[in-house]
Amino acid sequence: MIVNSGPVRIDERPCAQADHALSGKRAVGRPRRLTLDAIVDAACKVGIEQLEMNTVAQQLNTGVATLYGYVRGRDHLLELVAERMASRAIPDNYGGTWQEVLRGHAALCFAMFNSKPEMIGNLIGGEKTDREVAYATNIIAMLEKRGLSREQALDLYVETNQAVIGAAVMLVRRKILANAGVDEDGNVIALPPGLGDYRPTLERLVRDYEARAAEA
């Protein structure tokens, strides 16, 4: 379940260098070996679920402050990673279990929806793209490779997508309600802590399938 968000273009020139280029000045103290593409590569290796600026900095053997010369912050980097992973053939690096495949797939899709909420609407009116079909086929093949039947893999893929889409919609609503602050009677709106979080539903789904497998 990856919605076509258009061709992905990663500018090799870091944010700070772009600003200096516009002003005619040369960036000072920027390591030449480090590029935005290299940062995104390192972030992909770290993985979406564990993605933090300090973790990526450690992967690159550089400081966190250096990364901010290339990306605006974690959310910006998360968006770049999600677009990179959605636009290219996804390597089978999720580990040895189907649970890890599902969690990685869910984290990727949720990151895309979180960074670009308009993609939720595209699911309703948009047509399937070759890239989306290829991505789904790839994930299902990974699940089958780990011992699931085709029927189980399809069911898990669909149910995971439903959990992620539902959570993404509720996350948008949560942001709207949080900005509103109070209800019509002037009472402060208390939002459930799990609103907009797909992970509790996903973990219940995983436990349910684990229990079925144990019974079988």
Domain with 29 in it: what CATH number?
1.10.10.60
Q: Give the total number of structural domains in the chain.
A: 2
Query: Which pLDDT score, from 0 to 100, does residue 37 have?
Result: 92
Distance CA 153, CA 168 (A): 22
Domain stops at, among 48, 70, 88? 88
Residue 138: which domain range? Answer: 90-216
Arithmetic mean of pLDDT over the chain: 77
Confidence of residue 122 (pLDDT cuts 50, 70, 90): confident
* Same domain, yes or no: 49 and 117: no
Query: Which pLDDT score, from 0 to 100, does residue 114 have?
Result: 78
* Same domain, yes or no: 65 and 100: no
* Same domain, yes or no: 134 and 57: no
* Same domain, yes or no: 117 and 201: yes
* pTM value surpassing 0.75: no
Query: Which pLDDT score, from 0 to 100, does residue 152 have?
Result: 93
* Same domain, yes or no: 69 and 101: no
Q: Does the pLDDT value for residue 90 go beyond 80?
A: no
* Same domain, yes or no: 63 and 165: no
Helices (H), 181-198: none
Least confident span in 46-50, 121-125, 139-143: 121-125
* Same domain, yes or no: 37 and 111: no
* Same domain, yes or no: 138 and 213: yes
* Same domain, yes or no: 82 and 94: no
Domain stops at, among 19, 53, 88? 88
Beta-carbon contacts of 83 under 8 Å, excluding residues fewer than 6 positions away, are: 5, 8, 112
Distance CA 11, CA 23 (A): 18
Q: Is 20 exposed, middle or buried (0-12, 13-18, 19+ CB in 10 A)?
A: middle
Distance CA 33, CA 30 (A): 9
